[in-house]
């Protein structure tokens, strides 16, 4: 989904996690997800008419990996949840934000169900893919020198090409690829770019938070799409 503004935005783009800060989080770290997706699983009538946000808690990688059955998660992923709170269909590609530090740390990706307290929501980890993000975005600005992001100005000209991010679990996975101790993965991996949030999401985010929720795995093109939006 691309939203065209009637007037130029006066909101500064949010900074991205360039130093893998999210790797240092503990379970007390509060994070915020945002989107316009379903507020009830599989219920298209629950899609709101305004942007919503929800406060979540970071789930340490080892704990999340155990919940999903061992080796299902990779370093490119991170987890966040809270009781009955989650992203859902329509939120994929939306932001996971550390408001305390003003950083985009993740992008909504996949999960089992929506608001399922047994299985946290899974997000792409921006810091893990920073080298690829920087290279991809900054290469585009070699063709257009206007509005170059600051992180491109500091990019080393000798930086070697980084490996493209690996893809996330696909909705078309064969059952043998899914951990036997967990139920079948829901259709959350196929959520369209931009979704809503299950649980007590509350009212519209105010304008002071709008810059934090401007853009939401997507490991390659959806990630690039969001990164390009953040760059403007």
The residue extents of the domains of the chain are 15-129+181-216
| Span 168-174, average pLDDT | 42
Fold that domain 15-129+181-216 belongs to in CATH: Thrombin, subunit H (2.40.10)
Q: How far apart are CA 34 and CA 95, in angstroms?
A: 6
- Of residues 6 and 142, the one with the higher pLDDT is 6
* Among 54, 72, 58, residue whose Cα is nearest residue 209: 54
Global confidence as pTM: 0.68
Phi-psi region of 78 (alpha: psi -120 to 50; beta: other; left: phi over 0): beta
Check residue 156 and give its pLDDT: 53
Contacts of 140 (CB under 8 A, 6+ apart): 228
| Span 4-24, average pLDDT | 92
| Span 218-224, average pLDDT | 39
Per-residue pLDDT for 87 more than 60?
A: yes
Check residue 173 and give its pLDDT: 40
Residue 153: pLDDT band (50, 70, 90) is confident
pLDDT tens digit sequence for 17-41: 999 999 999 999 999 999 999 999 9
């Amino acid at each position: 989904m691309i939203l065209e503004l009637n007037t130029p935005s006066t909101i500064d783009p949010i900074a991205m996690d360039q130093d893998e800060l999210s790797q240092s989080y503990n379970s007390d770290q509060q994070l915020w997800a945002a989107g316009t997706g379903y507020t009830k699983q599989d219920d298209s009538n629950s899609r709101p008419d305004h942007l919503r946000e929800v406060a979540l808690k970071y789930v340490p990688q080892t704990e999340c990996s155990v919940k999903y059955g061992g080796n299902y998660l990779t370093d490119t992923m991170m987890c966040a949840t809270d009781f009955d709170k989650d992203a859902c269909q329509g939120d994929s590609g939306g932001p996971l934000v550390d408001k305390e530090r003003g950083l985009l740390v993740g992008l909504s990706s996949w999960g089992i169900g929506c608001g399922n307290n047994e299985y946290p929501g899974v997000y792409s980890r921006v810091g893990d893919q920073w080298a690829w993000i920087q290279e991809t975005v900054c290469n585009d600005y070699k063709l257009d020198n206007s509005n170059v992001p600051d992180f491109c100005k500091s990019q080393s000209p000798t930086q070697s090409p980084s490996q493209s991010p690996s893809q996330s679990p696909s909705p078309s996975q064969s059952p043998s690829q899914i951990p036997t101790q967990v139920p079948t993965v829901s259709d959350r991996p196929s959520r369209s770019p931009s979704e809503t949030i299950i649980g007590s999401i509350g009212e519209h985010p105010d304008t002071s938070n709008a810059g934090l929720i401007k853009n939401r795995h997507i490991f390659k093109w959806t990630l690039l799409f969001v990164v390009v939006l953040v760059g403007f």
